[in-house]
Amino acid sequence: MSIGLTTNRLRDLTQHADRIREEWGFPGSAVGIVYDDKVLFSAGFGHHRIGENSEVTPHTLFPIASATKSFTAMSLALLVEEGKLDWDVPLQQYWPAFRLFDPIASVQITVRDILCHRSGLPRHDLVWYNTRLTREQLVKRVRYLEPTVDFRHSYQYQNLLYTAAGHLVERLSGLSWEDFVKERILTKLGMDHSYFTVENARHAGPIALPYMWKAGSVTEVPFLNNEAIGPAGSMISCVEDMIKWLTFQLRGVLPDGQPLVGQQLLLEMHQPQMVSSTQTLYPEIPFVCSALGWFVQSYRGHNMIFHPGNLQGFTSFVSFLPEQKLGIVVLSQVDQSRLPVALTYEIYDRLLDLAPLDWHGRLKQEVQEEAKKMEEQLQNFKKSIDSMDDHDHPLSSRQYGRYEGNYHHPGYGIVSIAHTENSLQMKMLDNRLTFRRRHRRFCSKAGACRESKGDSFYTHVKSYFPIGVVGYDGQNYDGNAVCVVHDQLC
């Protein structure tokens, strides 16, 4: 690919990227493009905060969310290089106390299994979301979380086990995961503007603020403290630094020409390990596989390595085409956004001289259809509750009182149920989350709750009161409970 031709193909990218940002209604975003070891493009668009004259630049800091996982995988690769770890040796040989709910999985699970998401565990994200717990305390709770598929049977994305992988780095190195990543990776790559906590990032330089869609408009929300699951998604970086990370992935060496890990080890991290999807929405992407800290997909016939990131208020997309030596990073405010993906695909189409596709329109329509589907599923769920004849009339205060109390689950902690204003309120004490009943009816079959601030989670609750069992299914709308809370305490 000619560098001259490439430059011409990017001539109006600044205007195009800013126009897309405005059409999506987002405050700010940043884009970086690298070809081999040359930076083709690096720019910011919009503002850190709506209503303020604080322009986003390539140095503006954004949480990269789950794109952090590639750094955790690289940390483990460094330990493999040193002979302290083997991808395929059972984890218990390095960490005897580690346990999963499934006893067979407990003794067989390896680092490879964790990194490519084939443990059998579903997300269980309500365990860590906004938690008061430490990293070590979270990891100890994993043993109480039930799987929903057999071990190594299929792909299921899992943040808590990446947290455990980071804790393994700490056990084997004697350093905190943060210090290991900084000393062994960031410093060597010259990534001097990457951080692990919002507090440190705020002191270091301009940081984009988090925004979410609420009631049809973009609204500023608080930063989510996710330090406890840092290895799964706490890093904060900028386009300038992430370009250095992509350059290393493409070239396999540090800026001084020395290797960070062996070439074969790096290539192994980029290889498909587990099919995550063959039911893709677009013929240009026939399959997606998980790799070690990355995903692999065919994009219009080209091998693409990538990892998205999504966190309260932010979305990122980090990707590269190893054979073409091309890499793109897009960082954006507003979570659950397809803007970074749409812009990435459109840029690759330009650089590869492919027939243009309207990824902007396609993915915007996908978002609208998903939102409609989720709302329909919620309405259907509510109708199924209303159709149940356990109670033909709203409950009295006395009846509500039968369900009050504290309920305990060793994985999810204590859940407090209280009667307030003709409804029931559920508090997850370890997460500082409060859910309220959406209806006055409260039947023994099922209930539907929503986080009271309306910021993130809808939750279906399967309720078998007053005997003391509650179940959650997190962000899903398909009714698949992944937790059961037993043992009423009072």
Residue-wise pLDDT for 190-212, tens only, equals: 999 999 999 999 999 899 999 99
pLDDT reported for residue 219: 92
pLDDT reported for residue 6: 60
pLDDT reported for residue 476: 33
Judged against a pLDDT cut of 80, whether residue 401 lies above it is answered with no
Cα 304 to Cα 369: distance, rounded to the nearest angstrom: 26
What is the pLDDT confidence band of residue 417, given thresholds at 50, 70 and 90?
confident
Judged against a pLDDT cut of 80, whether residue 366 lies above it is answered with yes
Mean pLDDT of 245-260: 97
Picking from 106, 69, 122, 82, the residue whose alpha carbon sits closest to that of residue 292 is: 69
Reported as type and span, the H/E element at residue 408 is: strand 405-409
pLDDT reported for residue 38: 95
Q: Which of 6-15, 258-267, 406-415 has the lowest mean pLDDT?
A: 6-15
Cα 207 to Cα 198: distance, rounded to the nearest angstrom: 9
Q: Which of 174-183, 395-404, 447-456 has the lowest mean pLDDT?
A: 447-456
Cα 353 to Cα 324: distance, rounded to the nearest angstrom: 12
Q: Which residues contact 383 (CB under 8 A, 6 or more apart)?
A: none
Judged against a pLDDT cut of 80, whether residue 28 lies above it is answered with yes
Picking from 473, 470, 446, the residue whose alpha carbon sits closest to that of residue 458 is: 473
Tens digits of residue pLDDT in 111-167:
999 999 999 999 999 899 989 999 999 999 999 999 999 999 999 999 999 999 999
Kindly state the DSSP code that residue 185 receives in the 8-state scheme: I
Using a 10 angstrom Cβ sphere, with 0-12 exposed, 13-18 middle and 19 or more buried, the burial of residue 145 is: buried
Strands 274-277 and 288-290 turn out to be antiparallel
Contact in structure between 34 and 247 (CB atoms under 8 Å): yes
Q: Which residues contact 490 (CB under 8 A, 6 or more apart)?
A: 405, 406
Higher pLDDT, 393 or 405: 405
pLDDT reported for residue 90: 98
Mean pLDDT of 359-369: 87
pLDDT reported for residue 386: 61
Tens digits of residue pLDDT in 462-479:
443 333 333 333 333 233
What is the pLDDT confidence band of residue 436, given thresholds at 50, 70 and 90?
low
pLDDT reported for residue 490: 29
Mean pLDDT of 19-36: 93
Cα 196 to Cα 182: distance, rounded to the nearest angstrom: 9
Mean pLDDT of 16-44: 93
Judged against a pLDDT cut of 50, whether residue 489 lies above it is answered with no
Kindly state the DSSP code that residue 208 receives in the 8-state scheme: P
pLDDT reported for residue 459: 44
Instruction: List beta partners, residue 35.
Output: 38, 326
pLDDT reported for residue 406: 85
Place of tokens 């290089």: 81
Q: Which of 255-264, 385-394, 434-443, 471-480 has the lowest mean pLDDT?
A: 471-480
Kindly state the DSSP code that residue 134 receives in the 8-state scheme: -
pLDDT reported for residue 438: 47
Cα 37 to Cα 102: distance, rounded to the nearest angstrom: 46
